[in-house]
Chain A
Amino acid sequence: MEKMSRVTTALGSSSISGRTMFCHLDAPANAISVCRDATQVVVAGRNIFKIYALEEEQFVEKLNLRVGRKPSLNFSCADVMWHQMEENLLATAATNGAVVTWNLGKPSRNKQEQLFTEHKRTVNKVCFHPTEVYMLLSGSQDGYMKCFDLRKKESVSTFSGQSESVRDVQFSMKDYFTFAASFENGNVQLWDIRRPDRYERMFTAHTGPVFCCDWHPDDRGWLATGGRDKMVKVWDMTTNRAKEIFCVQTIASVARVKWRPERKWHLATCSMMVDHNIYVWDVRRPFIPFATFEEHKDVTTGIVWRHQHDPHFLLSGSKDSTLYQHMFKDASRPVDRANPEGLCFGLFGDLAFAAKESLISGDASRKPYPGGDRRYPIFFFKKPNPTEQFAHVSSALSVFESSVESRHMDWLVKTARLYLLSGKPFAELCDHNAKVAKELNRPQVSTTWTMLRIMFSDPANLSTPGPNHIGKLGTLPLMNSFSMKEMGTGLVAEGRLERSKGESRQDNLHLEPGNSLINSNNDENEETEGSEGQAEYMFGDAELDDDDLYSMEHENHAAEEQEYTLPQEAFPLRHEIMDNPSAPEHLQQDKADSPHASGNEAEVMCLTPIESFSLISISQPLFSPHLPAQFFCPVVREMLIHYAEQGDVQMAVSVLIVLGDRIRKEIDDLTQEHWYTSYIDLLQRLELWNVSNEVIKLSTCSAITCLNQTSTTLHVNCSNCKRPMSNRGWICDRCHQCASVCAVCHHVVKGLFVWCQGCSHGGHLEHVMNWLKSSSHCPAGCGHLCEYT
């Protein structure tokens, strides 16, 4: 090793120069290796075996080693290595299990020197000893590693990996006798070359195959391994147990890993599948690559640093049949494109925001917050490490806490709880929801509900009260609740049954005769006028005042720049939601669209006192009785989209559900699905499970309704031994008894199970229903007069 470093110093790294360049190969490459003086590179693959000279401006083909009329499988290389001491010596690993050495000094065209066919399966890796000229190591799929003395005809020693395939073998750079081997089952073994009987040490490094390993060129004990589990790990081997000191998570399985010369913390990786880029990582910064080379169009199969002491040149071969020389200065730096700002809402409306320190402190003279919110700026400092070449960004984290009175999510929770989405005639749902909105001081929403009722209630139908009316308006029919087959909703179904009954009774009371409709409308108009409060929208006022908070600039800085320089003036990402200038215009436009619906418009105008003639128009007939409901659909659609865009997705979804078929076709499925998912997400964050479930149930998007079917788990205990039943809900692992048997058919109940809470007998929902038609006694024969609600 000493000798070698002297040689390279004599050579001087200044003699290497070049630029980012590439050349086309005739066939995909499997591996590449570079000669000691960094002037030539050998490329090997199934159908290629060539030596290229690295010149200033280009690659020049020097030699084709693939000779002969019909090249044999010995030329089909899985790996290649150029000896680092002897510049004429090369070794290849063939897919058919042969290990071949080549002597470039041979005068004949065929440079093949030795052929070892001792391995029974594909040889995955060959490795020359770093300082010993004649020592060659191979690792094969058949589970053996063999050490060859090139002066002899066959191997001198065989190391057995206990029939696990060997993926990589690497001699230690510093310990003369040690080598590491990585295996398909995730293990890494350390061997002493003098002791073929047993490995020195073994540890499990990855789950799944370890495709590659590499000793640190300077640090004696460091070994980097990469595996199919998409991880690169750095192990410290100097301690008793191999200790994982760094771990880098990549996005695809790691095919090769190579330490970067002269840079203690850097290593380069490439992937075997899907991802074509080469990454250079600083192991201390495992979350973002230090540099990326993105030139290849197919997976990179071989990477090698051009010179042992020069960190600026990387060579790579790929399945896309190209050979590249990458200049480090041309690499892209993902960190420059990374966004150093972060923003997150807490459950109760708290807002955490991290931004670069320069942004926050430049803002020190800000006006105090009007809403009484407090701000806690927290500054994190990481001591800059001069050896790290990463761009240093110090961020300030601010947490904004909302005060108690402006718990602005309250209205959303209350609305969600109080809104009725189904189970009543359409008109009543609208009225109810309008009332809820009004009580929560949201007059515009309230008015919208009222308008909807007027638009879509057929006046002719309204005048005929009666039970058939319910069905026509598309409320949930009573019996429907039974046909919903869901795991373990027996109780829910009962509850629903009860409620539906109650509602149908109320229906009769609440239905008003048609002629009172106009009066009631007028009443409501006046009410709306009276309660002319400001429209309140979600995401309270306080923190939104601060435009600066949202300011962000995305600019690509020059690659060499180590510091960010952000301009102080920035643009707000979101416009203010508080005062809602678009609303009145929008409604005016509605009016223009539907001149006949002046009566309806009147109500809207109450909100916007700009228009004065609106009050006059009340005296006119409300609307022509022949106007079809479809007429309003475009208006309503725009209204929904408007609400959704304003952030009130609750309103959009609620109206969508209540209107049902009347409006559904007007809005494309993707938008609907988007609204539903947003609302459901919101509800679930607020832990409003019941409401969110109801929404899921009532939605008509298939993508939403199937949410109810995924990941539903119900934990049950066995009725015999009272232990939890881990496996399935109806058979107990411990006592081998079927837990729940139907009292009617004596079979195991696997789906809906109902039981009487008096005698705790029950069974299949359908069976019990049928039974109760004929008898009110318990089907189990216990004599109990069962009561099902």
Chain B
Amino acid sequence: MQEYIVVQLSRFFHPQFEFIHSRVKNGALEDLGIRIPRPLGNGPSRFIPEKEIQVSKVDPRTQSIFEDAFAALGRLDNISLVMGFHPQYLENFLKTQHYLLQMDGPLSLHYRHYIGIMAAARHQCSYLVNLHVNDFVQVGGDPKWLNGLEGAPKKLQALGELNKILAHRPWLLTKAHIENLLKAEEHSWSLAELIHAVVLLTHYHSLASFTFGCGITPEIHSDGGHTFRPPSLSQYCVCDIANGNGHGNHPEEKLGNHQEVSGEVEVLMERMKQLQECRDEEEASQEEMATRFEREKTESMLVATAEDDECVPSRDVSRHFEDPYGYKDFSRRGEHVPTFRVQDYSWEDHGYSLVNRLYPDVGQLLDDKFQMAYNLTYNTMATHKDVDTSMLRRAIWNYIHCMFGIRYDDYDYGEINQLLDRSFKVYIKTMVCSPEKTTKRMYESFWRQFQHSEKVHVNLLLMEARMQAELLYALRAITRYMT
């Protein structure tokens, strides 16, 4: 009963839904002696001040998207609230997610949520895990599975390996892995099911990146998202424990740094202009281009991911994966990874066709989402208007793919060095490869003059680029298996 009320109340705490709010007879419950849970966090994100995400201020379009999302799920999660900065994208995102989780597809509903849990747990993303544990139980999943992967059917256990490789080292995926899944007698996957699972896995890996990258706080009804204690006694939430940073924000420190970086945006814009102009003059040799890519690839490995390596996964989450298996860098252990050429296997030409063939309509949905993320621009940078940001966006996108060993023949990787400074690279690297180590300090230390909405935009780019990179490796392995 108590839990039921928590779930119900979570809906009423959103200022968005006054129309529901008005229907609750306030105080009635307390009179009955039922404790009212209180929200723990301040707003949907720990990184972004609550006043930035004022749901009451949003434009009508975002408003209607929020309403649809609320109607579809019966809740409006904090991820959607933060994405509300970019309503065009949010619409695409929710449509895709809804299709993946609710609509007709090869996998049964509780399998879908369980795969979501598996994927999110790889990054120790307790927020997503909790969200889907609830959904999983609600659609009739067996609670025994939640005790760990050993409790789940053999078929799902077999997926653990793929999950692990995809999350941390997708370039190691071979057709043998696919074969193992597809030819396991009574526990084998069908191709369509596998595609569905792969899309779900990559979706939740990258969504975990976004969750950490934006410091999403748990909702009031999820574990760690609320407290029954009086407001004065604060409590750490699961996310914070895993991240090694608590509520202690240091606003003074932030102010102190502010002056010295005031020219950041202008410098960046100047560089972009220069690159645009001088491109034709200095034409780098082919060898030079190749080395630039290799250098960027290797350097991205050396970027330190986080200050503190001792992260404590909360017990709740850690049982969903069995062994610590992190993002291993390419060159560090001397293993040679052949470069993945996009011109030989691209999403547009190959990946799309394969996905759409085996899981109809999803190829189209993902295609729209990727394009939306890649092309989204307001032609602004911080306070400057009418800026062509395509170069910057392409640099970010290609840098992420570069970290996964994916190379664009027609891109000069020297541009990345010019456009992305070190703190930004640290942030990208951490968020993409080991998102659970993202800290508020990292979030604040890159692009200090940019607005929060722009940082969320960057996060969207990171998330989609990562998803596409993982998908490319997985789909290539499947294609190789099929031929």
Chain A interfacial positions (CB closer than 8 Å to B): 46, 70, 72-74, 76, 78, 94-97, 117, 119-122, 141, 184, 208-209, 211, 228, 252-253, 272-274, 276, 297-299, 485, 706, 709-711, 727-728, 730-731, 733, 736-738, 741, 746-748, 750
Q: Say yes or no for B23: interface residue by CB 8 A criterion.
A: yes
Residue of B nearest to A741 (CB): B23
Name B352's closest neighbour in chain A (CB-CB): A228
Which of chain B's residues has its CB closest to A142's CB? B410
The residue from A74, A252, A710, A733 contacting B104, defined by CB atoms under 8 A apart: A710
Residues of A within 8 A of B25 (CB): 746
**B116-124, B225-233, B343-351: which one contacts chain A?**
B343-351
Tell me the bound Cα distance from A367 to B267 in angstroms. 96
- Is A297 touching B410 in the complex (CB atoms < 8 A)? no
Residues of A within 8 A of B67 (CB): 731, 733, 736
CB pair A96–B289 under 8 Å, yes or no, is: yes
Is A273 in contact with B19, judged by CB distance below 8 angstroms? no
Give residues of chain B (128-148) contacting chain A, Cβ–Cβ below 8 Å: 140
> Given A46-B343, A73-B286, A95-B343, A273 and B104 touching (CB < 8 A)?
no
Q: Does B278 contact A (CB under 8 A)?
A: no
Inter-subunit contact B353/A727 (CB<8 Å): no
B142, chain A: closest CB distance, angstroms: 12
Which residues of chain B are near A731, meaning CB under 8 Å?
Answer: 67, 70-71
**B302 near A: Cβ within 8 Å?**
no
Complex CA distance for A70 and B291, rounded to whole angstroms: 13
Given contacts A122-B343, A727-B71, A741-B23, contact A76 B409 (CB under 8 A): yes
**CB distance A737 to B19 under 8 Å?**
yes
**A276 with B349: in contact, given A96-B289, A711-B104 (CB under 8 Å)?**
no
Quick one: which of B108, B350, B409 contacts A122, CB cutoff 8 A?
B409
Given A72-B287, A727-B71, A747:B8 Cβ within 8 A:
yes
A122 and B409 alpha carbons, distance in the complex (Å): 7
- Residues of A contacting B341 with CB < 8 Å? 46, 95
- Subset of 19 A-B contacts with CB under 8 Å: A73-B286, A119-B410, A208-B352, A208-B364, A228-B352, A252-B353, A253-B349, A272-B350, A273-B354, A297-B483, A706-B108, A727-B68, A727-B71, A727-B72, A730-B71, A731-B70, A738-B23, A741-B23, A748-B20
B72 to chain A, nearest CB (A): 6
The answer to whether B283 touches A141, judged by C-beta atoms less than 8 angstroms apart, is: no
Chain B residues near A733: list those with CB within 8 A: 67
A732 to nearest B CB, angstroms? 9
- Residue pair B349, A272 in contact (C-beta under 8 Å): yes
Closest B residue to A706 using CB positions: B108
* Chain B residues touching A, majority SS: helix
Other-chain contact of A299, B290, B348, B352, B483 (Cβ < 8 Å): B483
Extra contacts, 18 of them, besides A211-B349, A727-B72 (Cβ < 8 A), are A46-B341, A70-B287, A95-B341, A95-B410, A96-B289, A97-B410, A119-B410, A184-B348, A209-B348, A228-B353, A273-B353, A273-B354, A274-B354, A276-B483, A731-B70, A736-B67, A738-B20, A750-B74
* Known A73-B286, A228-B353, A273-B354: A95·B409 in contact at CB below 8 Å: yes
Q: Does B479 contact A (CB under 8 A)?
A: yes
Cβ-based interface call for B95 (8 A): no
| Nearest Cβ on chain A to B270's Cβ, whole angstroms | 20
Write the nearest CB–CB distance from A726 to chain B, whole angstroms.
10
Q: How far is the CB of B307 from chain A (nearest CB, A)?
A: 39
Q: How far is the CB of B472 from chain A (nearest CB, A)?
A: 13
Cβ-based interface call for B482 (8 A): yes
Closest to B28 in A: A746
In angstroms, Cα B344 to Cα A299, docked, is: 12
Contact (Cβ within 8 A) A117 B283: yes
Contact of A78 among B20, B283, B343 (CB under 8 A): B343
The 3 A-B pairs at the shortest CB distance, nearest first, are namely: A72-B286, A95-B409, A273-B353
Residue of B140, B279, B287, B357 touching A274 (CB-CB under 8 A): B357
CB-nearest residue of chain A to B73: A728
Give complex CA distance A119, B283 in Å. 13
**Closest CB of chain A to B353's CB: distance in Å?**
4
A46/B344 in contact, CB under 8 A: yes
Knowing A228-B353, A727-B68 touch, does A73 contact B289 (C-beta < 8 A)?
yes
A120 to B352, CA, bound (A): 24
Closest B residue by C-beta to A711: B104
Most chain B Cβ neighbours within 10 Å, of A74, A95, A117: A95
Q: Number of B residues whose C-beta is below 8 Å from A? A: 40
Contact check, B19 vs A141: say whether CB atoms are below 8 A apart. Answer: no
How many angstroms from the CA of A272 to the CA of B352 in the assembled complex?
Answer: 11
Contacts of B20 in A (CB 8 A): 738, 748
Closest to A76 in B: B409
From B287, B350, B357, B409, A96 is in contact (CB under 8 Å) with B409
Q: Which of B70, B286, B290, B353 contacts A74 (CB 8 A)?
A: B286
On chain A, the residues within 8 Å of B108 by CB distance are 706
Interface residues in B249-307 by Cβ distance below 8 A to A read: 279, 283, 285-287, 289-290
B343 smallest CB distance to A (angstroms)? 4
Contacting pair A746 B479 (CB below 8 A) = no
Tell me the minimal C-beta distance from B75 to chain A in angstroms. Answer: 12
Question: Measured between C-beta atoms, what is the minimum distance from B140 to chain A in Å?
Answer: 8
* Residues 1-38 of chain B, each 1 if its beta carbon lies under 8 Å from chain A, else 0: 00000001000000000011001110000000000000
Interface positions of B from 343 to 373, Cβ below 8 Å from A: 343-344, 348-350, 352-354, 357, 364, 367
Q: In the assembled complex, how far is the CB of residue A781 from the closest CB belonging to chain B, in whole angstroms? A: 14
B353 touches A272 (CB 8 A): yes
Distance of A728 Cα from B409 Cα, bound (Å): 47
Q: Which residue on chain B has the smallest CB distance to residue A737?
A: B19
| Contact assessment for A274 and B482 in the assembled complex, using a CB-CB cutoff below 8 Å | yes
| C-alpha gap A299/B345 in the complex (Å) | 12
Interface centre among A252, A706, A731 (most CB of B within 10 A): A731
A453–B25 Cα gap in the complex (Å)? Answer: 59
Asked if B410 contacts A120 (CB within 8 A), the reply is yes
Q: For residue B283, which residue of chain A has the nearest CB?
A: A117
**Among B19, B367, B483: residue with most chain A CB under 10 A:** B483
Contacts of B367 in A (CB 8 A): 208
Q: CA separation between A273 and B476, bound complex, in Å?
A: 11
A273 to B482, CA, bound (A): 10
Interfacial chain A residues near B287, Cβ < 8 Å: 70, 72
Q: Judge whether A96 and B410 touch: CB under 8 Å.
A: yes
Specify which chain A residues have a CB less than 8 angstroms from the CB of B354 in the assembled complex.
Answer: 273-274
Tell me the minimal C-beta distance from A699 to chain B in angstroms.
Answer: 16
Contact with A along B319-348 (1 / 0, CB 8 A): 000000000000000000000010110001
Chain B residues contacting A709 (CB-CB under 8 Å) are: 109
- Give the complex CA separation of A312 and B357 in angstroms: 33
The answer to whether A274 touches B104, judged by C-beta atoms less than 8 angstroms apart, is: no
Given the complex of chains A and B, what is the CA–CA distance between A96 and B410 in angstroms?
A: 4
- Asked if B483 contacts A298 (CB within 8 A), the reply is yes
> Which chain B residues lie closer than 8 Å to A73 at the CB level?
286, 289-290, 409
Q: In the complex, what's the smallest C-beta–C-beta distance from B268 to chain A, in angstroms?
A: 20
In the bound assembly, the distance between CA atoms of A110 and B20 in angstroms comes to 76
Residue of A nearest to B479 (CB): A273
A279 to chain B, nearest CB (A): 16
A274 to B354, CA, bound (A): 7
Shortest CB–CB separation between residue B475 and chain A, in angstroms? Answer: 10
Query: Which residues 469-483 in B have Cβ within 8 Å of A in the complex?
Result: 479, 482-483
Min CB distance B399 to A, Å, is 17
CA gap between A469 and B67 in the complex, in Å: 53
Known A731-B71, A750-B74: A273·B410 in contact at CB below 8 Å: no
